[in-house]
Amino acid sequence: MPTITLDIKYFRELLGFSIDDKMLEEQIAKLGFEVEGIGKDEIKIEITPNRPDLFDAVGMSRAIRNFMHRTKSFRYKIANDKPAIVISVGDKIKRIRPFVAGMVVKGLKLDEKSLANLIKFMDKFCDTFGRDRRKIAIGMHDLSKINGPLEYDAYTDEEFIPLNGNSAEMFSEIMKTNEKGIKYGDTIPPGKKRLYPALKDTEGILALIPIINSDRTKVSVGTRSLLIDITGSSEYYVDKTADMLASLFIDMKGSVEKVEIVYKGEGTLSPKMESKQMQIPISMLENEIGVRIGSNNVISLANKMGYEAALLGNKILFNVPEYRFDVINEQDIVEDVAIAYGYDYIQQIAIPNYDAGALEEKSILISKIKDLMIGYGFSEAMNTYFTNEDTNFVKMRLQEPSNASIKLKNSRMQSITMMRTWIIPSLLGNLGRSASEKMPQRIFEIDLTFMIEDEKIHEDIHLAAVSVDPKANFNDIKAVCEGLLSTLEIKYNLTEAEKKSFIQGRVADAESESVTIGFFGEVHPEVLNNFGIEEPTIGFEINLSLLYGWKASSKAIRE
């Protein structure tokens, strides 16, 4: 979840009415967000990622004002449709970063607080919701420094003075040496004749997009009019971002004017300022939430969440605000009404029960086998399913069979590279870490193991047990194993086996209906050395999935 940090003084200024910290925190919590801290200078709020319109002080204050019924009009409109400036879009950009939107904002009085808020917001928005500027990037320029018309296209290497730079630099240089160039460089496809998205006016480069603006059009405290460009890979989100920004500037008392985007002679105006309308029956709202609300109350709740709403027969007509990205179907509005109503006020209603509950058969049996193992004096261990080749094979004196284990692609931990194929190595790890504890030590585990066989993934449940004791020997584990199998009424034969993890002549396979279902034996001293175990150790492992046919598998346990 993103956390936003707002200048508390600016935030209170925007709210326009006085409210104490406690009350403010309460209102924000009711909206569904969490205040992580309020200080003298800052307020930190954790916000759900579906509401980028609240990532800044203007949007957040708008939401609080709405919620506290301090808003009279919920509509955001741009009165004049005449474009303030033209952006023509070239052909070459279409394959790289196809979509662009924009606007002009006049009559602003940018001071330190409001400018800092804008810059922080745009960075946060483009890094999170804009997926590190790939999907959406925003540029902001001082309009008075621009000589239109503008051109948006992809260009070969050119030079300009980047924001806060001292001298002109080539695009290619900025990509390599500038902090932003390094961070966002992979949004521009590489190549021998690399083409760079850029915005130009008649005097030259305004921005290398989505990397850095020119120093020439830098916005600073006192700037009164802005040109905003929004570019990206998704037409819908680029346009929607323009709508959201226009709403934001209108709330900042700016006067927003449209720009014309011209491609192949055809012009469209931006921002589009599209607002969706949805009709939802009151009964549906009430039935989804599980409370009786009433039509008047629904309208008031809708207003709290920023929707203009009207009664239309037995339905409510909702006008979805221009700045909202996340309203996809009527369920999204239901949620907003529920939030405004307050989750805490929703009374529990029981669902009638028609059917008996049940555990899976395999769970029941596993639970019984665990009881049996406890009866034999083994405590239950639990281990991670992750392992590495060294633990699973090498320490066990085994060679890894090819193409049989599931391998991780991108683990952050070098000690985690694959999924375990058997459980005994995990248990020996437990014993190795317990060498200072009282003997005898007996542990077991029933859980999953992972193998690939015949191009199929086998997620098999194994039972494994180990026992360490100065007097432990082959017969002790044979006794437990045979006791267990006969208690479970499994018919079995034992055959001498050869397994490198165990002492030769002290290991046996257990077969049932001519399938090897498991093995037991006395662990090889070299294996014990490898795990730091100092006393004789015995163990067994049985494939329960195979034994009970919990899934189609023709696989016998491998050592």
Partner 1 sequence: MHKYEERVLEVLRNNKELSLGELISGSSIGRDKVLWALENLSKRGAVNVRKTRKREIEITEEGKRYAETLLPEEKLLKSLEKGEINVAELKGREEQIGFLWAKKKELAFISGGTLKMTKRGLAVAAEGDQDRMMLNDIAIHGKSRKESMNERIPILQSRHLVEVKEREEIERIRISGEGLAEIEKGAGEEKVGQLNKSIIAGGNWKGIEFRKYDVNIKVEKADAALKHPLTNLSDDIKRAYVGLGFKEISGPIVEPSFWVFDSLFMPQDHPAREMQDTFYLAKPSMLKVKESEIQKRIGKAHKRGWKGDWNMEASEQAMLRTHVTSVSSRQIQSIVGSMMKGKSDFNLPLKFFSMGRVFRNESIDYKHLADFYQTDGIIIGKGLTLANLFDTLIKIYGSIGMKVSFKPSYFPFVEPGVEIRVFSEKTGGWIEIGGAGIIRREITGISRKKISVLAWGVTVERFLLLRENNISSISELYGSRIGWLRSRKMV
Residues 254-293 that bind partner 1 (CB under 8 A): 284, 287-291
Give the span between the Cα atoms of 229 and 142, in whole angstroms.
12
Instruction: Tell me the C-alpha distance between 206 and 143, whole Å.
Output: 11
Per-position x/- string for 401-440, each x denoting binding to partner 1 as judged by CB under 8 A, each - no binding: --x-xxxxxxxxxxxx--x---------xxx-xxxxxx--
What is the C-alpha separation between 337 and 339, in angstroms, rounded?
5
Contact 259, 103 (CB under 8 A): yes
Q: Interaction with partner 1 in 95-154: which residues (CB under 8 A)?
A: 128, 131, 135
Interface pick for partner 1 out of 220, 264, 351, 552 (rule CB under 8 A) = 351
- Shortest distance, CB of residue 285 to partner 1, whole angstroms? 11
Give the angle subtended at the CA of 331 by the CAs of 45 and 46, to the nearest 5°. Answer: 5
Phi (first) and psi of residue 74, to 5 degrees: -105, 0
Applying CB under 8 A, does 553 fall inside the site for partner 1? Answer: no
Helix axes 57-67, 295-304, angle to 10 degrees: 160
Residues numbered 442 to 481 that lie near partner 1 (CB under 8 A) are: 442-443, 445, 448, 450, 452, 457, 459
Q: Nearest approach, Cβ of 377 to partner 1 (angstroms)?
A: 5
Stretch that binds partner 1, among 25-33, 204-212, 471-479, 493-501 (CB under 8 A): 25-33
Distance CA 108, CA 409 (A): 51
In the complex with partner 1, the residue whose CB is nearer, 208 or 419, is 419
- What sign has the CA pseudo-torsion 151, 156, 160, 166? positive
Pick 221 or 374: Cβ nearer partner 1: 374
Q: Least distance to partner 1 from the beta carbon of 29, Å?
A: 7
Phi, psi of 102 (to 5 degrees): -170, 180
Within 197-236, the residues that bind partner 1 by CB under 8 A are 234-236
Our finding on whether 384 is near partner 1 (CB under 8 A) is yes
Compute the least distance from the CB of residue 61 to partner 1, in Å: 19
What residues from 183 to 202 belong to the interface with partner 1 (CB under 8 A)? none
Interface stretch with partner 1, choices 194-202, 243-251, 379-387, 495-503 (CB under 8 A): 379-387
Q: How many Å separate Cα 117 from the centre of its chain?
A: 25
Nearest to 520 by CA among 536, 509, 531: 509
Q: Counting contacts by CB under 8 A, is residue 374 touching partner 1?
A: yes
**What span, in angstroms and rounded, lies between the C-alpha atoms of 255 and 265?**
28
Pattern of binders to partner 1 over 316-345, x per CB under 8 A?
A: ------------xx-xx-xx--xx---xx-
Which residue, 215 or 332, has its beta carbon nearer to partner 1?
Answer: 332
Angle made by CA atoms 402, 404, 405, in degrees to the nearest 5: 110
Residue 86 in contact with residue 200, Cβ under 8 Å?
no
177 near partner 1, rule: CB under 8 A: no
CB 326 to partner 1: min, Å: 8
Residue 495 φ/ψ, nearest 5 degrees: -130, 150
> Which one, 162 or 425, has the nearer CB to partner 1?
425
Q: Considering the rule CB under 8 A, would residue 179 count as an interface residue with partner 1? A: no
Comparing CB distances to partner 1, the nearer of 155 and 548 is: 548
* Between 77 and 95, CB nearer to partner 1: 95
38-67 footprint of partner 1 as x/- string (CB under 8 A) = ----------xxxx----------------
Give CA–CA dist 420/459, Å, rounded.
10
Label residues 293-322 b or e (16+ Cβ within 10 Å = b): bebeebbebbbbbbbbbeeeeebbbbbbbb
CA distance linking residue 334 with residue 129, whole number of Å: 23
Closer residue to partner 1, CB minimum distance, 23 or 408? 408
Q: Is 534 in the site for partner 1 (CB under 8 A)?
A: yes
Instruction: Tell me which of 106, 218, 272, 370 binds partner 1, using CB under 8 A.
Output: 370
If one asks whether residue 358 binds partner 1 (CB under 8 A), the answer comes out as yes
Cβ 309 to partner 1, closest distance in Å?
A: 18
Residues near 456 by beta carbon (within 8 Å), at least 6 away in sequence: none
Q: Does 549 bind partner 1 (CB under 8 A)?
A: no
Applying CB under 8 A, the span of 15-23, 174-182, 217-225, 362-370 interacting with partner 1 comes to 362-370
Separation of alpha carbons 557 and 460, rounded Å: 10
